[in-house]
Amino acid sequence: MAFSELSRPWRARGHFNPRGGLLLCHGFTGSPQSLRPWAEDHAARGWEVELPLLPGHAATERELAGTRWQDWYGSVRDAALELSEELGPIGVGGLSMGGALALALAADPALRGRIAAVVAVNPGMTLPPAASVAELIAPVVRTLPGIGSDIALPGSTEEAYDRLPVRAVAELRRLFRRTRQQLGAVEVPLLLATSSVDHTVPPSDSDIVAAGVRGEVERLALPRSHHLVPLDHDAQLLFDSSARFLDQHVRPRGGGG
Protein backbone atom coordinates (compact mmCIF):
# COMPACT_ATOMS: atom_id res chain seq x y z
CA MET A 1 0.00 0.00 0.00
CA ALA A 2 1.12 3.57 -0.68
CA PHE A 3 1.19 5.65 2.49
CA SER A 4 -0.06 9.22 2.42
CA GLU A 5 0.79 12.29 4.47
CA LEU A 6 -1.76 11.07 7.02
CA SER A 7 0.64 8.25 7.94
CA ARG A 8 3.39 10.64 8.99
CA PRO A 9 3.99 11.61 12.62
CA TRP A 10 1.61 14.33 13.78
CA ARG A 11 1.56 16.77 16.64
CA ALA A 12 -0.51 19.68 17.91
CA ARG A 13 1.39 22.01 20.20
CA GLY A 14 1.31 25.63 21.31
CA HIS A 15 -2.10 25.99 22.95
CA PHE A 16 -2.15 29.10 25.14
CA ASN A 17 -3.73 27.28 28.09
CA PRO A 18 -3.59 23.55 27.26
CA ARG A 19 -5.97 21.06 28.82
CA GLY A 20 -2.99 18.70 29.16
CA GLY A 21 -0.68 16.43 27.20
CA LEU A 22 -1.88 13.40 25.26
CA LEU A 23 0.32 10.76 23.63
CA LEU A 24 -1.38 8.42 21.13
CA CYS A 25 0.10 5.07 20.00
CA HIS A 26 -0.95 3.38 16.76
CA GLY A 27 -1.15 -0.34 16.07
CA PHE A 28 0.95 -3.10 14.50
CA THR A 29 1.55 -2.68 10.72
CA GLY A 30 -0.58 0.49 10.80
CA SER A 31 0.34 4.16 11.06
CA PRO A 32 -0.74 7.47 12.64
CA GLN A 33 -3.46 7.66 9.97
CA SER A 34 -5.60 5.24 11.99
CA LEU A 35 -5.57 7.61 15.01
CA ARG A 36 -5.44 10.96 13.21
CA PRO A 37 -9.17 11.73 13.76
CA TRP A 38 -8.75 11.08 17.49
CA ALA A 39 -5.67 13.28 17.61
CA GLU A 40 -7.30 16.13 15.70
CA ASP A 41 -10.47 15.95 17.81
CA HIS A 42 -8.54 16.31 21.08
CA ALA A 43 -6.24 18.97 19.68
CA ALA A 44 -9.34 21.01 18.81
CA ARG A 45 -10.45 20.64 22.44
CA GLY A 46 -7.17 22.16 23.64
CA TRP A 47 -4.90 19.15 24.19
CA GLU A 48 -1.23 19.13 23.30
CA VAL A 49 -1.06 15.95 21.23
CA GLU A 50 1.82 13.74 20.12
CA LEU A 51 1.12 10.99 17.57
CA PRO A 52 4.46 9.39 16.62
CA LEU A 53 5.18 6.90 13.84
CA LEU A 54 6.53 3.65 15.28
CA PRO A 55 9.85 2.37 13.87
CA GLY A 56 9.49 0.15 10.82
CA HIS A 57 5.95 1.33 10.05
CA ALA A 58 4.60 3.20 7.01
CA ALA A 59 7.71 2.22 5.06
CA THR A 60 8.22 -1.38 3.87
CA GLU A 61 7.51 -4.80 5.34
CA ARG A 62 11.25 -5.45 5.17
CA GLU A 63 11.95 -2.49 7.44
CA LEU A 64 9.34 -3.66 9.94
CA ALA A 65 10.89 -7.13 9.93
CA GLY A 66 14.17 -5.55 11.04
CA THR A 67 12.73 -3.93 14.18
CA ARG A 68 12.21 -5.29 17.68
CA TRP A 69 9.53 -4.61 20.25
CA GLN A 70 12.05 -2.54 22.21
CA ASP A 71 12.26 -0.16 19.23
CA TRP A 72 8.50 0.40 19.24
CA TYR A 73 8.36 0.81 23.01
CA GLY A 74 11.42 3.02 23.10
CA SER A 75 9.91 5.47 20.63
CA VAL A 76 6.71 5.99 22.63
CA ARG A 77 8.64 6.05 25.91
CA ASP A 78 10.84 8.86 24.59
CA ALA A 79 7.72 10.75 23.47
CA ALA A 80 6.11 10.29 26.90
CA LEU A 81 9.20 11.59 28.66
CA GLU A 82 9.40 14.65 26.42
CA LEU A 83 5.72 15.53 26.71
CA SER A 84 5.61 15.02 30.49
CA GLU A 85 8.75 17.12 30.97
CA GLU A 86 6.90 19.99 29.35
CA LEU A 87 3.39 19.53 30.75
CA GLY A 88 3.57 17.34 33.83
CA PRO A 89 1.54 14.10 34.09
CA ILE A 90 0.00 13.19 30.72
CA GLY A 91 -2.69 10.96 29.28
CA VAL A 92 -1.75 8.09 27.00
CA GLY A 93 -4.05 6.46 24.48
CA GLY A 94 -3.56 3.55 22.13
CA LEU A 95 -5.29 1.19 19.73
CA SER A 96 -4.53 -2.54 19.44
CA MET A 97 -0.75 -2.95 19.85
CA GLY A 98 -0.79 0.75 20.68
CA GLY A 99 -3.08 -0.06 23.60
CA ALA A 100 -0.53 -2.59 24.84
CA LEU A 101 2.20 0.04 24.49
CA ALA A 102 0.11 2.56 26.44
CA LEU A 103 -0.38 0.04 29.26
CA ALA A 104 3.34 -0.79 29.21
CA LEU A 105 4.11 2.91 29.67
CA ALA A 106 1.77 3.09 32.66
CA ALA A 107 3.51 0.06 34.18
CA ASP A 108 7.03 1.44 33.67
CA PRO A 109 8.53 2.36 37.08
CA ALA A 110 10.68 5.03 35.44
CA LEU A 111 7.49 6.79 34.28
CA ARG A 112 5.71 6.65 37.63
CA GLY A 113 4.07 10.02 38.23
CA ARG A 114 4.37 10.97 34.56
CA ILE A 115 1.36 8.99 33.30
CA ALA A 116 -1.95 10.15 34.80
CA ALA A 117 -4.46 8.08 32.83
CA VAL A 118 -4.74 5.58 29.96
CA VAL A 119 -7.32 5.14 27.21
CA ALA A 120 -6.92 1.69 25.63
CA VAL A 121 -9.02 0.80 22.58
CA ASN A 122 -9.22 -2.91 21.73
CA PRO A 123 -5.81 -3.49 23.33
CA GLY A 124 -3.96 -6.59 22.15
CA MET A 125 -2.81 -9.07 24.79
CA THR A 126 -2.76 -12.40 22.97
CA LEU A 127 -2.03 -13.91 19.56
CA PRO A 128 -3.30 -17.14 17.99
CA PRO A 129 -1.37 -20.29 19.03
CA ALA A 130 0.28 -20.43 15.60
CA ALA A 131 2.19 -17.24 16.46
CA SER A 132 4.28 -19.22 18.95
CA VAL A 133 6.26 -20.68 16.04
CA ALA A 134 6.70 -17.39 14.20
CA GLU A 135 10.39 -17.16 14.99
CA LEU A 136 11.01 -20.74 13.85
CA ILE A 137 9.25 -20.38 10.50
CA ALA A 138 10.48 -16.85 9.71
CA PRO A 139 13.47 -18.04 7.61
CA VAL A 140 11.08 -20.02 5.39
CA VAL A 141 7.78 -18.13 5.58
CA ARG A 142 8.66 -14.46 5.57
CA THR A 143 5.21 -12.85 5.42
CA LEU A 144 1.56 -13.64 6.12
CA PRO A 145 -1.65 -11.93 4.94
CA GLY A 146 -2.21 -8.48 6.45
CA ILE A 147 -4.72 -7.46 9.11
CA GLY A 148 -5.56 -3.90 8.04
CA SER A 149 -8.92 -2.16 7.56
CA ASP A 150 -11.08 -4.11 10.02
CA ILE A 151 -13.77 -1.42 9.84
CA ALA A 152 -17.56 -1.67 9.70
CA LEU A 153 -18.08 1.78 8.15
CA PRO A 154 -18.37 1.48 4.35
CA GLY A 155 -15.70 3.38 2.45
CA SER A 156 -13.38 3.82 5.45
CA THR A 157 -9.92 2.29 5.06
CA GLU A 158 -6.69 2.01 7.01
CA GLU A 159 -3.24 2.74 5.62
CA ALA A 160 -1.37 -0.40 6.66
CA TYR A 161 0.92 -3.08 5.24
CA ASP A 162 -0.67 -5.65 2.98
CA ARG A 163 1.51 -8.39 4.50
CA LEU A 164 2.69 -9.24 8.04
CA PRO A 165 6.45 -9.85 8.42
CA VAL A 166 6.70 -13.08 10.42
CA ARG A 167 9.78 -11.88 12.32
CA ALA A 168 7.81 -8.85 13.49
CA VAL A 169 4.95 -11.12 14.62
CA ALA A 170 7.43 -12.86 16.90
CA GLU A 171 8.38 -9.47 18.39
CA LEU A 172 4.71 -8.58 18.83
CA ARG A 173 4.21 -11.81 20.78
CA ARG A 174 7.09 -10.84 23.10
CA LEU A 175 5.60 -7.38 23.66
CA PHE A 176 2.17 -8.81 24.50
CA ARG A 177 3.63 -11.37 26.90
CA ARG A 178 5.71 -8.75 28.70
CA THR A 179 2.77 -6.35 28.96
CA ARG A 180 0.46 -9.03 30.37
CA GLN A 181 3.05 -9.86 33.01
CA GLN A 182 3.24 -6.20 34.09
CA LEU A 183 -0.47 -5.35 34.18
CA GLY A 184 -0.44 -5.45 37.99
CA ALA A 185 1.85 -2.41 37.97
CA VAL A 186 -0.77 -0.30 36.16
CA GLU A 187 -2.33 1.77 38.94
CA VAL A 188 -3.59 4.83 37.04
CA PRO A 189 -7.22 5.17 35.91
CA LEU A 190 -8.02 3.30 32.69
CA LEU A 191 -10.76 3.83 30.12
CA LEU A 192 -11.04 0.46 28.37
CA ALA A 193 -12.96 0.67 25.08
CA THR A 194 -13.97 -2.59 23.42
CA SER A 195 -15.73 -3.38 20.15
CA SER A 196 -18.41 -6.06 20.28
CA VAL A 197 -17.22 -7.48 16.94
CA ASP A 198 -13.48 -7.40 16.33
CA HIS A 199 -11.80 -9.55 13.68
CA THR A 200 -8.27 -8.56 14.72
CA VAL A 201 -8.13 -8.64 18.55
CA PRO A 202 -10.60 -10.80 20.50
CA PRO A 203 -12.78 -8.79 22.92
CA SER A 204 -11.61 -11.20 25.63
CA ASP A 205 -8.23 -9.45 25.54
CA SER A 206 -9.94 -6.45 27.13
CA ASP A 207 -11.16 -8.73 29.91
CA ILE A 208 -7.56 -9.81 30.53
CA VAL A 209 -6.61 -6.16 30.92
CA ALA A 210 -9.53 -5.32 33.20
CA ALA A 211 -8.74 -8.26 35.46
CA GLY A 212 -5.00 -7.57 35.56
CA VAL A 213 -4.62 -3.86 36.28
CA ARG A 214 -4.82 -2.42 39.79
CA GLY A 215 -6.20 1.03 39.00
CA GLU A 216 -9.78 2.18 38.47
CA VAL A 217 -11.27 0.75 35.25
CA GLU A 218 -14.11 2.29 33.27
CA ARG A 219 -15.47 0.11 30.46
CA LEU A 220 -16.83 1.55 27.21
CA ALA A 221 -18.77 -0.68 24.81
CA LEU A 222 -18.47 0.08 21.10
CA PRO A 223 -21.38 -1.82 19.54
CA ARG A 224 -21.28 -0.45 15.98
CA SER A 225 -17.57 -0.67 15.20
CA HIS A 226 -14.99 -3.29 14.39
CA HIS A 227 -11.31 -3.03 15.35
CA LEU A 228 -10.33 0.41 14.05
CA VAL A 229 -12.76 2.50 16.05
CA PRO A 230 -11.33 5.98 15.27
CA LEU A 231 -12.19 5.32 11.60
CA ASP A 232 -15.54 3.62 12.29
CA HIS A 233 -19.15 4.30 13.33
CA ASP A 234 -18.37 4.77 17.04
CA ALA A 235 -15.56 7.26 16.53
CA GLN A 236 -17.39 10.22 18.07
CA LEU A 237 -18.54 8.13 21.02
CA LEU A 238 -14.90 7.20 21.64
CA PHE A 239 -13.68 10.78 21.27
CA ASP A 240 -16.31 12.25 23.60
CA SER A 241 -15.71 9.53 26.20
CA SER A 242 -11.94 9.92 25.98
CA ALA A 243 -12.13 13.71 26.36
CA ARG A 244 -14.41 13.46 29.39
CA PHE A 245 -12.23 10.79 31.01
CA LEU A 246 -8.98 12.65 30.40
CA ASP A 247 -10.46 15.94 31.65
CA GLN A 248 -11.32 14.12 34.84
CA HIS A 249 -7.92 12.55 35.47
CA VAL A 250 -5.19 14.63 33.76
CA ARG A 251 -4.12 17.87 35.40
CA PRO A 252 -1.43 19.76 33.47
CA ARG A 253 1.32 21.59 35.26
CA GLY A 254 0.02 25.08 35.99
CA GLY A 255 -3.63 23.99 36.08
CA GLY A 256 -4.62 24.57 32.43
CA GLY A 257 -7.89 23.53 30.84
Q: Which residues are catalytic?
A: 96, 198, 227
The answer to whether the beta carbons of residues 90 and 81 sit under 8 Å apart is no
HEC string of the chain equals CCCCHHHCCEEECCCCCCCEEEEEECCCCCCHHHCHHHHHHHHHCCEEEEECCCCCCCCCHHHHHCCCHHHHHHHHHHHHHHHHHHHCCEEEEEECHHHHHHHHHHHCHHHCCCEEEEEEECCCCCCCHHHHHHHHHCCCCCEEECCCCCCCCCCCCCCCCCEEEHHHHHHHHHHHHHHHHCHHHCCCCEEEEEECCCCCCCCHHHHHHHHHCCCCEEEEEECCCCCCHHHCCCHHHHHHHHHHHHHHHCCCCCCCC
